[in-house]
Amino acid sequence: MLKVSSLRLTGLSLAVLAMTAAVAAHAGEVEVLHYWTSGGEAKSVAELKKIMQAKGHVWKDFAVAGGGGDNAATLLKSRVVSGNPPAAAQIKGPAIQEWAAEGVLANLDAVAKAEKWDSLLPKVVADGMKYKGNYVAAPVNVHRVNFVWANPEVLKKAGVTGMPKTYDEFFAAADKIKKVGLIAVAHGGQNWQDFTTFESVALGIGGVKFYHEALVALDPKALSSDTMTKTLETFRKIKGYTDAAAPGRDWNLATAMVMKGEAGFQFMGDWAKGEFLAAGKVPGKDFLCAAAPGTANAYTFNVDSFAMFKLKSADSQKAQADLAAAIMGTEFQEVFNLNKGSIPVRLNMKLDKFDDCAKLSSKDFVETAKTGSLQPSVAHGMAIKPAIEGAIKDVVSQFWNDDKISVAEGQKRLIAAAATK
Ligand code: BGC
């Protein structure tokens, strides 16, 4: 038998041993399905892994490449159908309700109550995390979708002063960039990227009321209005400023084009900032951010969240509860969002370490919430049922990719897709 003296345990090492034993008693595995695979995204999710590992849990990474998460959603379905769901999956918006209605999500009320989530979240966010009054998901951040990013060197070379505030200014700037032989708009080739641009154009051309009526309420009157015609015309005009290699390109490669000075602008949510930051770029100096033209007083939000699935083993359940608590904890909310480009979803967090783009986002989030100009992003799964979202995204992408589809025809198809049951 070992004598304690022979181990020469100091007070400190005893304490460490005791802690390790406590942690080990509850150690479990969390398998986390996410689609954060770009430079900035991977850096961000690594912070959550670190926090979970520090709690003694085993992190099983289930990363599925593909911006916007379409590939991840397909894989998730097959895992759940085969009765083998991950502990947590990156699911958001109305899709949370759909999964909960299947009866496969875990009830997180115990941790939510202990950690006081109701008082730490904006009500609109908390409501989205609940199904029939019970928490089933934990939110990580608030992304703003209606952003445009720019390379200040490119703007300077082209003689463009300041970020465009209207579409007239935008197209004037884009023409100047084209003239100096550069690409005016960096764009990629997935339907969610097309719709990210499309919804910002709708918001900029028609304002908040139109955005809401047409794209959130799917009101046929708004969809068939002249404002929608103008939206489609403007959207098509932007396409003329993208390069021929855009189809199939990932969003982060489009961001890289702006970074490298090959392109002037990119319409993209503020996860693009995560890419710039991961590459060591400095906001205000190496890259610029602004609300998309005509949308300074509005905010399309995109809240990332993890829905938690019902698990059998007690250790896994404990690890899952720890994951939920960690996600809403101040440590994670700060470090994750500093890397991700978003702002903390937890209220009353200090933002002193955040840059001006994040401070602008936070200010506008609070202000637009008061005026009703805070709107859910359709492109990012926040607004409408996944089936209808998919249908209208497809129509908008067909229109974007095929110049032979007239504006009138595109509008007709959009109205029909919005009526999908
Ligand atoms: C997600 C972001 C992600 C982006 C690109 C969005 O829908 O909300 O977290 O970075 O897609 O993958």
Distance in angstroms (rounded) separating the CA atoms of residues 271 and 163: 19
pLDDT of residue 7 exceeding 50? no
Q: How does residue 5 score in pLDDT terms, banded at 50, 70 and 90? A: very low
The single-letter code of the amino acid at 318 is K
Taking only the tens place, the pLDDT of each residue in 206-234 is 999 999 999 999 999 999 999 999 999 99
CA distances from 215 to 110, 145, 386 (A): 36, 15, 13
pLDDT of residue 328 exceeding 60? yes
Q: Which one has a higher pLDDT value, 256 or 27?
A: 256
Residues with CB under 6 A from ligand 1: 35, 41, 67-69, 143, 251, 271, 302, 304, 380
For ligand 1, pick from 302, 305, 327, 393 the residue to mutate: most ligand atoms within 8 Å of CB.
302
3-class state of residue 284 by DSSP: coil
SS (H, E, C) 49-74: HHHHHHCCCEEEEEECCCHHHHHHHH
CB-based burial, 374-413: b 16+ in 10 Å, e otherwise: bbbbbbbbbbbbeebbbbbbebbbbbbeeeebebeebbeb
Helices 407-418 & 226-239, crossing angle to 10 degrees? 120
pLDDT of residue 4 exceeding 70? no
Q: What pLDDT was estimated at residue 114? A: 98
Give me ligand 1 centre to Cα 297, in Å: 23
Nearest to 49 by CA among 32, 67, 24, 73: 32
Residue whose CA lies nearest to ligand 1 atom number 1? 68
The single-letter code of the amino acid at 41 is E
Taking only the tens place, the pLDDT of each residue in 271-290 is 999 999 999 999 999 999 99
How far the first Cα of the chain sits from its last, in Å, is 72
> Which strand (E) or helix (H) includes residue 288?
strand 288-291
Residue whose CA lies nearest to ligand 1 atom number 4? 68
Dihedral sign (CA 250, 251, 252, 254): positive
For 361, list phi and psi in degrees, rounded to 5.
Answer: -60, -45
Taking only the tens place, the pLDDT of each residue in 160-174 is 999 999 999 999 999
Distance in angstroms (rounded) separating the CA atoms of residues 282 and 273: 10
pLDDT of residue 19 exceeding 80? no
pLDDT of residue 17 exceeding 70? no
Give me the chain's average pLDDT, please.
94
Contact 111, 126 (CB under 8 A): no
Contact 195, 393 (CB under 8 A): yes
Other CB atoms within a 10 A radius of the CB of residue 75 amount to 16
pLDDT of residue 20 exceeding 60? no
Dihedral sign (CA 158, 161, 162, 167): negative
Nearest to 136 by CA among 359, 307, 391, 303: 307
> Which are the contacts of 175, defined by CB distance < 8 A and separation ≥ 6?
184
Distance in angstroms (rounded) separating the CA atoms of residues 88 and 141: 16
pLDDT of residue 115 exceeding 80? yes
For ligand 1, pick from 194, 304, 339 the residue to mutate: most ligand atoms within 8 Å of CB.
304
* Beta bridge partners of residue 32, listed in sequence order: 61, 88
Q: What pLDDT was estimated at residue 259? A: 98
CB-based burial, 263-297: b 16+ in 10 Å, e otherwise: bbbbbbbbbbbbbbbbeeeebeebbbbbbbbbbee
pLDDT of residue 137 exceeding 80? yes
Give me ligand 1 centre to Cα 252, in Å: 11
Contact 143, 304 (CB under 8 A): yes
pLDDT of residue 23 exceeding 70? no
CA distances from 330 to 185, 275, 333 (A): 37, 23, 5
Q: What pLDDT was estimated at residue 92? A: 96
Q: What is the mean pLDDT of residues 233-240?
A: 98
Q: What is the mean pLDDT of residues 282-301?
A: 97
Taking only the tens place, the pLDDT of each residue in 42-96 is 999 999 999 999 999 999 999 999 999 999 999 999 999 999 999 999 999 999 9
Distance in angstroms (rounded) separating the CA atoms of residues 262 and 177: 10
> Which atom of ligand 1 is found nearest the CA of 302?
8
Distance in angstroms (rounded) separating the CA atoms of residues 288 and 252: 16
Give me ligand 1 centre to Cα 48, in Å: 16
pLDDT of residue 27 exceeding 90? no
DSSP state letter for 105: B
Q: What pLDDT was estimated at residue 24? A: 47
For ligand 1, pick from 380, 382, 393 the residue to mutate: most ligand atoms within 8 Å of CB.
380
Distance in angstroms (rounded) separating the CA atoms of residues 149 and 287: 7
Distance in angstroms (rounded) separating the CA atoms of residues 44 and 110: 27
Give me ligand 1 centre to Cα 10, in Å: 48
Q: What pLDDT was estimated at residue 282? A: 97
Give me ligand 1 centre to Cα 187, in Å: 15
> Which are the contacts of 351, defined by CB distance < 8 A and separation ≥ 6?
343, 344, 358, 359, 362
